[in-house]
Structure 1
Amino acid sequence: MNIFSRFLIRNVFIGFAAAAGLLIPLFTTFNLINELEDVTPGGYLWTQALWVTLMTLPRTLIDLGPFVALFGGIIGLGQLSKSLELTAIRVAGVSIMQIARVILCAGLMLTVTFAALDEWVASPLQQYALRLKDAALAHSGKTDNAGNELWARNGNEFVTVKSLDEHNNPQGIEIFYYQPDLSLQSYIYARTATIDDKHTWTLHQVYQKTWSGDKESVKTTDSLHWHSVFTGMSLAELTMPGDSFSIVQLNRYIKYLQGSGQPSMEFRIALWQKLGRPILILAMILLAVPFTFGNAREPGLGSRLALGVVVGLLTYIAYQIAVNLGLLLSLNVQFTTLSLPVVLLLVALGLVWRFDKRH
């Protein structure tokens, strides 16, 4: 790596830092406002909301990765263009394609950093923050937002858990047993349960109803032992949203869902989105090159950043539409998550090649 490459990479990373410094406070403020809406007296406190917001900062940074790449590239190269240092590099015989390769190296460094941050920092911190919030909401009695409702299936047995309490014990358990002809054989409702071991729960305050032919019987009991179908992962993990999982956890969760006969497409999409994000980041950083050389006579960064905001927002909206359509229509997961990043990368490479030929 020659002196020009090190110089360009250093300035591009300064641009990354500047872009993150602009975006993170803005989106962190939005996140804090959303958290404060769930604050309850004696339950989820404002200090906990602040702590949860701070612990989800790495996740916010990763989600903003493509924007940081685009804006950081525009800022870094734009400053060099404004100070005529980029012109001096060009006069020294460095082509636009060579500059793009160096910028791509900086993008690869950024994607590796984000991947490591996602796997070992952002995911554990986000999960800890969500457990803290869920426990506080459960303690206050506000269980509507305390985690996600759990569903599981084992053959003809279907189970749902409404929520978890502050000790991660299940609440509001419903168990449905179906006969082979899909007629309901029995129904069990338990207000709470304690987890004895990996395979056994003790249900409390149990209401049980069974059907045999035309006869219906109802029974209530204080406790009942039940062989749990939630054996693949812990309940605390099962309540977490897909975007909070690391790649290892997503792989394990997908195998658990497929093994229990449950739909897994949402989490397969979450997994492939993590794999597609590096491609999107590389495409965005390459787009900074046409932004810089396309307005060579404009020394200011305002118009370039404004156009970058438009491109970034349109890309984000288009990607969300593609992912949701893929989930709704059950399209191929790889096509749904990778098509837009790959197309955008090819467009960026084409624009770089075009400007290299023109200049």
Structure 2
Amino acid sequence: MRLLPRIHDIYVGRTVLLTVLVVWMVLLGLDAIMALSGEAGKIGQGHYSFGHALAWLAYTLPRRAYTVFPMAAVIGALMGLGQLAATSELTALRAVGLSRRRIAVSVAISLSLLTVLMVVNGETLSPWAQNRADALKTSARYNTDMATARYSGLWAREGDIFLNAQTGEEQVSADGQAILLLHDVRLYQLGEDGRLLSLTYAKTARHDHQGWVLETVRRDTFGERSVSRQELPTEKWASKLDAAALASGLAKPRNLSAGELKTSIDYRKRNGLDARDYEDTYWGRWFYPLNVLALCLAAVPFAFGSLRSGGMGKRLFLGMLFALGFLLLQMFFGRMAGALKFDYRIAYALPPIMMLGISAWLSRRRVG
């Protein structure tokens, strides 16, 4: 099989690429409209306006494009190949000696271009834009002096006290109460002249319906010529910082690059914290291009059988069936990996292997 692209490779690849782009734009538009409608109930909270909602939506578009691309790729590939099959162009290509493998390679190469673009987007533009979107919404809704720094966690201000937390997460207690946990917390108290009055370190800051509690506390108080230290196992913190606003400002795993995710995983494991959400997102990034290509290659055999006599509705149905089936498989194995604590690499490798195996089996049985 010759590896250099020829005119039939370019033709097949261009047809598939165009249909994928059209489907991608449609899915992205529908996702954006649903997201904007979901923001309607939040307009009016604090200073959050319709303009803020539009800006938030614009910032989230790179992440949404990254998320819907696998579904758009398989639906678009099936529709493009189905279009060629319906006009007997695939039959003509096969008649001149073009193998199924060569057609599959043409599809894979054309989709690889968009897949590489999405991988770069997922590591650069998407996390940055999503962080900006979250910061915009939080500051507008809660009117707080709060920011997230890329390498130094969450920052918030209350009067003369500045809070810094490296990481945090939300939990639900046995009675259904929401709990916010912040880890590696530092409280800086400044005087009116800008001088540091005290520095309080707490291993954990916990917020529930009873308020804030600091755990494993160490406080250094700075005098003009002296420093005193106080250590406490726990201490109540009379703060009015909004826990919901702080939770909204925490860096979420989806907002981090693969390198930052790996750093967060190592940090959490060193400190005995739950790292499963970060591992899930981290390995999802690595398997993203494999999932896209495997899913589309698994759908190629249908173009030589069931799509030849079907209309647009049949192609669309098969594309959605493939995409949803793969998504459900991936979610199932991901949840199982989190619950049973087995390797996420296995969980993410099984769905594409299963889809390719099913496709090969159906191809041998001459589906359609």
TM above 0.5, one fold? yes
Query: Structure 1 residue 159 and structure 2 residue 163: aligned?
Result: no
- SS state at 2:347 partner: helix
* Deviation per residue, 1:201-244 (Å, 9 max, x gap): xxxxxxxxxxxxxxxxxxxxxxxxxxxxxxxxxx9998122112
Contact 2:287–2:348 (CA under 8 A) maintained in structure 1: yes
Query: Structure 1 residue 298 and structure 2 residue 298: aligned?
Result: no
CA distance in 2, matches of 1:129, 1:115: 20
Query: Structure 1 residue 105 and structure 2 residue 109: aligned?
Result: yes
AA of the residue aligned to 1:276: F
Alignment-derived partner of residue 59 in structure 2: 55
How far does residue 124 in structure 1 lie from its aligned partner after superposition?
Answer: 0.8
1:230-309 alignment to 2 at 5 Å? 239-295=250-306, 297-309=308-320
Alignment-derived partner of residue 215 in structure 2: 176
How far does residue 130 in structure 1 lie from its aligned partner after superposition?
Answer: 0.7
* Deviation per residue, 1:11-65 (Å, 9 max, x gap): 1110111111221111111111222222224422121112111211121111112
* Deviation per residue, 1:254-290 (Å, 9 max, x gap): 2222233312121011100111221211122113312
- SS state at 1:152 partner: strand
Which deviates more, 6-15 or 238-247?
238-247
CA distance in 1, matches of 2:360, 2:114: 18
CA distance in 1, matches of 2:330, 2:344: 13
The one of 65, 72, 75 equivalent to 2:76 is 72
Alignment-derived partner of residue 320 in structure 1: 331
Contact 1:58–1:117 (CA under 8 A) maintained in structure 2: yes
Q: 1:345 to 1:321 in 2, by over 3 A?
A: same
Alignment-derived partner of residue 330 in structure 1: 341
Residue identity (%): 26
CA distance in 2, matches of 1:65, 1:272: 17
CA distance in 1, matches of 2:362, 2:293: 14
How far does residue 157 in structure 1 lie from its aligned partner after superposition?
Answer: 5.6
Alignment-derived partner of residue 134 in structure 2: 130
- SS state at 1:56 partner: helix
Contact 1:153–1:261 (CA under 8 A) maintained in structure 2: no
- SS state at 1:158 partner: strand
CA distance in 2, matches of 1:33, 1:41: 15
How far does residue 342 in structure 1 lie from its aligned partner after superposition?
Answer: 3.0
Contact 2:23–2:75 (CA under 8 A) maintained in structure 1: yes
1:200-239 alignment to 2 at 5 Å? 239=250
Aligned residues: 298
How far does residue 76 in structure 1 lie from its aligned partner after superposition?
Answer: 1.4
How far does residue 350 in structure 1 lie from its aligned partner after superposition?
Answer: 5.3
Contact 1:250–1:271 (CA under 8 A) maintained in structure 2: yes
Q: 1:90 to 1:319 in 2, by over 3 A?
A: same
Alignment-derived partner of residue 233 in structure 2: 185
Which deviates more, 333-342 or 273-282?
333-342
Contact 2:45–2:141 (CA under 8 A) maintained in structure 1: no
Contact 1:16–1:68 (CA under 8 A) maintained in structure 2: yes
CA distance in 2, matches of 1:238, 1:37: 20
Q: 1:326 to 1:294 in 2, by over 3 A?
A: same
CA distance in 2, matches of 1:33, 1:15: 27
With normalisation by structure 1, the TM-score equals: 0.74
Which deviates more, 184-193 or 75-84?
184-193
Q: 1:20 to 1:96 in 2, by over 3 A?
A: same
CA distance in 2, matches of 1:139, 1:162: 20
* Deviation per residue, 1:166-199 (Å, 9 max, x gap): xxxxxx7531129xxxxx9332414179xxxxxx
CA distance in 1, matches of 2:45, 2:288: 39
CA distance in 1, matches of 2:80, 2:41: 38
Contact 1:43–1:140 (CA under 8 A) maintained in structure 2: no
Where does structure 1 lack aligned partners over 5 or more consecutive residues? 164-171, 179-183, 194-234
Q: CA RMSD in A?
A: 3.2
- SS state at 2:237 partner: strand
Query: Structure 1 residue 83 and structure 2 residue 87: aligned?
Result: yes
How far does residue 344 in structure 1 lie from its aligned partner after superposition?
Answer: 2.1
CA distance in 2, matches of 1:97, 1:293: 12
Contact 1:58–1:122 (CA under 8 A) maintained in structure 2: yes
Query: Structure 1 residue 5 and structure 2 residue 14: aligned?
Result: no
CA distance in 1, matches of 2:7, 2:131: 42
CA distance in 2, matches of 1:6, 1:79: 16
With normalisation by structure 2, the TM-score equals: 0.72
- SS state at 1:58 partner: helix
